[in-house]
Structure 1
Amino acid sequence: MNEPQTKFPSVKMYGINVSKMNMKETVQYLTEAVQHKETHQVITANPIMFMAALNDASFAKAMQSAELVVPDGTGLVWAADYVGHPVKERVPGFDLMFDLLKVANEKSWKVYLLGTTAEAIQESATKLKKQYPNIDFVKARDGFFTEKEDMDVVEDIRKLSPDLLFIARSVETQEPWIYKYKRELNIPVMMGVGGTFDIIAGKLKRAPKWMQKLRLEWFYRLLQQPSRYKRMLDLPKFVFRVRRDKDIIIEKK
C-alpha cells in the first residue's frame, strides 16, 4: 500500500506525516472526506504509538500509510515544536470523535461503533443515541473477536456502509487492523478511539480540565490503570529519542 499524499500542512517525523491542522480544520477536512466518500484512516497519535512504530516495522507501516495522523499526545506537540516545525495545537482523539459526531448529527450520517467489551459498547451506544438523535447508529459491536472472525466483522461493516467507523481495541491491534482492512471496508472515516467508549460508559473517567491544561492526562490515566506503567515508560524514552535525533527526525514538507 503506497504512502498517502497529504492535502494539508504536516510535519514528517520518523517517516510519519503528522498534521499541523487545528481541531476546526481537522473536522472540516474529515467532513469533506465523508461528503466525497474518500477513504481515510485517522490515527490519533501519541509518543507511545511512535515508540511502537520505531520498534515494530509493521506498526510503523500502518502509521506511515494512514491518510491522517493527528497529534493527540502532548509529547508530539512538544516534539514538533522542539525540532522547529510546530503544529497549531493538540488534537485530542476524544474531542475529535465528539466534534465529528456533532457534524454527523447535523447531517444524519451513519455511524458504526466497534470495540471494548459488549457491556461498555452497548452502554456507550445507548448514551450516544440519546445525545445525538439524528445519527443512525447502525451497530455497536464488542472488540473481542479472533483473526478468524475478521472477515465476518468486515463484511458486516461493509453491508451497513457507515460514514464513520470508530474502533476501540488495544494499541497493538487497533491501528494495524484498520490498516489491514481499510480498502475492503472502504469507509470515509475510520478512527481508532482507544479508551473512549470505556469513558462514555463510565468504566473510566477522563482527566479533569485542569489536568488536561497541565498536560497530565497520561498521569490521570495511569492512576486509574496502574497496569499501564510499563507502557508509560515509553514517554521519557520518546523524549530522549527526539533530543538525540533532532537533526535527522524531520523530513520537510
Structure 2
Amino acid sequence: MRRRHDLEVPGPLGRRPRRLRALWRRTLLPASVLVGLLLSRALDLTVALALLILLAPLLAARALIARVRTGRILTRERLVGRFRVPFEQLRFAGEAPGAGLAVLFNILRGDMAIAGPRPLPEAEAQQLEVAAAVRFTVRPGLFSPYRLRRRTGIAHEPEAVVDRDYAYAQSARGDAGLVVRALIGEVLGGGEAPTPPRLEIFGVSIVNTTMPEAVDWIAARAAPGETASRPALVAFVNPDCLNIAYVDADYRRILLAADCVLPDGIGIHLGCRMLGVALVANVNGTDLFPRLCERAAEDGLGLFLLGARPGIAAAAAAAMQARYPRLRIAGVEHGYFDPANEAAVIARINASGAAILLVAFGAPRQEKWLARHRDRLAPPVRLGVGGLFDFYSGRIARAPLWMREIGLEWVWRLLQEPGRMWRRYVIGNPLFLYRVWRQARGGAQR
C-alpha cells in the first residue's frame, strides 16, 4: 500500500481531483490518513469562518477603502496550489503583494490552508525539481514552516527541503502547532528592518551573513594555495559572550581583532531589533558544524577537534565521519590535558596537517588560548566552538526543532544544566538586553 505522499503529482495544468472519492481511489488512503485530512480541513474551515465573522467590520472597512481608492475591491494573483492546480489568491485592491485578510476566502474555498508551504507563482513552480514536487500533495498555507524559520533566523535548509519534510509529516496536530509557533515567530521577527553587512553591539563588529556564506568564507580561507598571509580566527558570540566582553578587556580585544565574528542565539536577534536592524541568520556553531564537515569532505580539508571531556571529541568526530564518509579528521584531543603537555598538543595539531582547528574550551578561554598561541599553530583557520562537541557526541541532547523555531533553545539548555546555566540565562539575558537598550539610547558602548 502506498503512502499518501507517494502518489503521482499532476502536471502544471492538472485538473482538480473529483472530490474525496476520486482521491481515495487514486491514492489508496488508509483510514487514519483520511481522518487526518478531514481534521486538517475542519481546522481550516473553523479558523477561517471564525476570523471572517470576528473581523467582518474590518473586512467591510477594508473593502470600502479599496473601492474608494482604486475603484475596485479585490485583485487577484495567479498562483499554483495543491496538485499543481492554478488558483487566484485574493487581496484587497491597493495592498502590497502577499497574503492579507482577503486570503481567508481562499482558505474557505479550499485553495489554501491555514498551514502549509508557500503558494508559488507559476514560473517558480515550473522550475521546481522533481524531487521537491511532493509539496504539491498538500494545500499551500498562510503560515509556512520555512517562513517561520526565516523569521527566527534558522532557515539554514533550502525552502524546497523544508516544504518536502512538511508534506511527508503533515497532520492536523502538526498544523495547529505550526500556527502557534508561527504567530510567536511573527512577534519575535518584528517588522521589516535593514540588514547591514555588519552589526555593532558594544563596539564588537559582528558579520551579518547567511550560513552558506559563512561556510564558503571558512572553506576559502582554509583552501590550499589560497590561504591568506595570516591565520584566520573565527569566533561565535551569544549574549553571554558579549556580556563577558563588556567587562573583560582582553577578551574584547581578541574579538575586535578576530577575522570573523558570527552571531549565535535568539538574544542577538532581539538585540538587533532593539537597535533597529535585522539579523540575516542565526549562524551558530552548532548548526554550522555539520555543514562545515560536509564542505570539508567535498574539498578535502582536514579537521582537528580539540576540547571537551575525554572521549567526547572522538565521539563527535566518529559521528561526523559516519555521516560524511569522505571527511578527514586529522586528529582529536580532549581539553583536560596537563599544561605541561601543551607544547606536545600543539605539535600534534601542527603535524596533523589539519586545515581547520576547532577548539571547544568554552568562551572566553578558547579564544584566549587561540590568541596566545596564534603564531605557534599551523592550521590556517581556527574556530572557538564552545560546547559543540557535546551535542554531536550524544552527551547532551539538542533542543527539539519546535523550541529552536520559537527561540527557546536557551530554556532547554537551562533545564538540562540549571546549576551551570542559571546565571547565564536568568541574569545574563536581561542584563544583555538592558545594555543593548542603553546602546540604542546612545549610552556607553564600552
Identify if the C-alpha distance between structure 1 residues 250 and 32 changes in structure 2 by more than 3 Å, giving closer, same or farther.
farther
Provide the secondary structure at the position in 1 that maps to 2:217. Answer: helix
- TM-score, scaled to structure 1: 0.89
Provide the aligned length of Structure 1 versus Structure 2.
244
Match of 1:87 among 265, 279, 287: 279
- TM-score, scaled to structure 2: 0.52
Identify if the C-alpha distance between structure 1 residues 249 and 194 changes in structure 2 by more than 3 Å, giving closer, same or farther.
farther
Q: Which moved more, 1:209-218 or 1:167-176?
A: 167-176
Identify if the C-alpha distance between structure 1 residues 196 and 15 changes in structure 2 by more than 3 Å, giving closer, same or farther.
same
Match of 2:207 among 11, 15, 19: 19
Please give the residue correspondences for 1:99-138 in structure 2 after superposition, counting only pairs within 5 Å. 99-138=291-330
Q: Which runs of 5+ in 1 are unaligned?
A: 1-7
Provide the secondary structure at the position in 2 that maps to 1:171. Answer: coil
Provide the secondary structure at the position in 1 that maps to 2:267. Answer: helix
Q: What is the aligned-residue identity percentage?
A: 28
Query: Retained in 2: the 8 A contact 1:19–1:87?
Result: no
Which protein has the larger Cα radius of gyration, Structure 1 or Structure 2?
A: 2
Query: Retained in 1: the 8 A contact 2:308–2:336?
Result: yes
Match of 2:439 among 240, 245, 249: 245
RMSD in angstroms over aligned alpha carbons?
1.9
What's the offset of the Cα at 1:197? 1.1
Q: Which moved more, 1:202-211 or 1:25-34?
A: 25-34
> Hey, what does 2:424 align to over in structure 1?
231
Match of 2:410 among 218, 227, 245: 218
Query: Retained in 2: the 8 A contact 1:12–1:250?
Result: no
What's the offset of the Cα at 1:191? 1.2
1:9 aligns with 2:218: no
Q: Which runs of 5+ in 2 are unaligned?
A: 1-195
- Aligned residue type for 1:234: G
Identify if the C-alpha distance between structure 1 residues 247 and 181 changes in structure 2 by more than 3 Å, giving closer, same or farther.
farther
> Hey, what does 1:28 align to over in structure 2?
216
- Aligned residue type for 1:220: W
- Aligned residue type for 1:48: D
1:37 aligns with 2:37: no
Deviations 1:31-88 (A, max 9, x none): 2111222322111110000000011111111211111111112111222232123231
Q: Return the alpha-carbon distance in structure 1 between the equivalents of residues 296 and 258 of structure 2.
A: 22
Identify if the C-alpha distance between structure 1 residues 250 and 28 changes in structure 2 by more than 3 Å, giving closer, same or farther.
farther
- Aligned residue type for 2:317: A
Q: Return the alpha-carbon distance in structure 2 between the equivalents of residues 182 and 189 of structure 1.
A: 11
Provide the secondary structure at the position in 2 that maps to 1:161. Answer: coil
What's the offset of the Cα at 1:187? 2.2
Q: Return the alpha-carbon distance in structure 1 between the equivalents of residues 271 and 348 of structure 2.
A: 40
Q: Return the alpha-carbon distance in structure 2 between the equivalents of residues 221 and 150 of structure 1.
A: 31
Q: Which moved more, 1:32-41 or 1:212-221?
A: 32-41
Query: Retained in 1: the 8 A contact 2:355–2:379?
Result: yes
User: Higher relative CO (CA 8 A, sep ≥ 6), structure 1 or 2?
Assistant: 1
- Aligned residue type for 1:230: R
- Aligned residue type for 2:200: K
